[in-house]
Amino acid sequence: MIVLIAVAAAVLVPYLTEPGIPVFMYHCVADEPRDGDENLYVRPAQLEEEFQFLSDNGYTTLFSDEYEDAYSTHKPVILTFDDGYEDNYIELFPLLKKYKIKATIFVVAANIGQKDYLKEYQIKEMVKSGLVSIQSHTQNHIDLSSVDVETVDREFRESCAALSKISGKNVTTLSYPGGYFNKDVIREAERYFTYCYAIDTNEYSKDNHYEISRGGVFRNTTLEGFTIAIETYSQSRFYRELLKFKHKYFTK
């Protein structure tokens, strides 16, 4: 009986009380969409409103490799930007400096130096500021759940080598391209990374390091929606489910 109660408590207490860590996923930052999905282009003014909110409300921004630290941080939030677009240097970086906010850019290594993607000198300058962490979004941005493990391994190995060579820092976290992964992908990822970020898995527990959920911030995300999202994600899983969080809460 005592064993049963102990087991039930171990399962239920984190479910009821352990906070979630708000983790947001962005892509491009630009007024004028270039190509692809227009909704991936967050306007600089919209981003600034969100940064102002974080700053005014005492949030602490952490890098993707500080996930566990977030559990002992007052009002933590992790901001991530996927793909490594050049507009992250042009539009995002000045705002990070203005508000002293930290962000992680998950870079597709093979795209570095290509049109509209980050250049090596830009990555170096951002890393040097201490406000940007450069992490892996694989070498070629392929769907990892649809290829063999050798390919997955190569995507991890090559991107880590290329990115750490430029940034001068170890690459220890990944965001899955398209959010796609499976058990085999996780097994390979465990050999390279301490944390892997996905999309909308609703998984924010301290122990699951390979399916960390991120909420997307898009062009149609309102400030009100952003603030509802950050407060919802900060709740325990029990309350998140009670609140029945849906994306529609924070889009226009």
Binding-site ranges for Zn ion (CB under 5 A) = 82-83, 177
Closest CB to Zn ion among residues 82, 91: 82
- The answer to whether 155 and 140 have CB atoms below 8 angstroms apart is yes
- The answer to whether 166 and 122 have CB atoms below 8 angstroms apart is no
Please state the closest distance from residue 195 (CB atom) to Zn ion, in A. Answer: 17
86 DSSP 8-state letter: T
Please state the closest distance from residue 23 (CB atom) to Zn ion, in A. Answer: 15
Closest CB to Zn ion among residues 83, 87: 83
Please state the closest distance from residue 116 (CB atom) to Zn ion, in A. Answer: 14
Spell out the alpha helix ranges (H) of the chain: 2-17, 44-56, 67-70, 87, 93-99, 120-128, 149-167, 183-192, 223-233, 237-243
Closest CB to Zn ion among residues 29, 54: 29
Please state the closest distance from residue 81 (CB atom) to Zn ion, in A. Answer: 10
Closest CB to Zn ion among residues 59, 197: 197
Please state the closest distance from residue 144 (CB atom) to Zn ion, in A. Answer: 11
When CB distances to Zn ion are compared, the closest residue is 82
Please state the closest distance from residue 157 (CB atom) to Zn ion, in A. Answer: 19
164 Cβ contact list (under 8 Å, min separation 6): 170, 171
Closest CB to Zn ion among residues 50, 83: 83
42 Cβ contact list (under 8 Å, min separation 6): 26, 27, 28, 29, 217, 218, 219, 221
Terminal Cα distance for the chain, rounded: 51
Counted residue by residue, the chain has a size of: 252
- The answer to whether 111 and 81 have CB atoms below 8 angstroms apart is no
Closest CB to Zn ion among residues 65, 83: 83
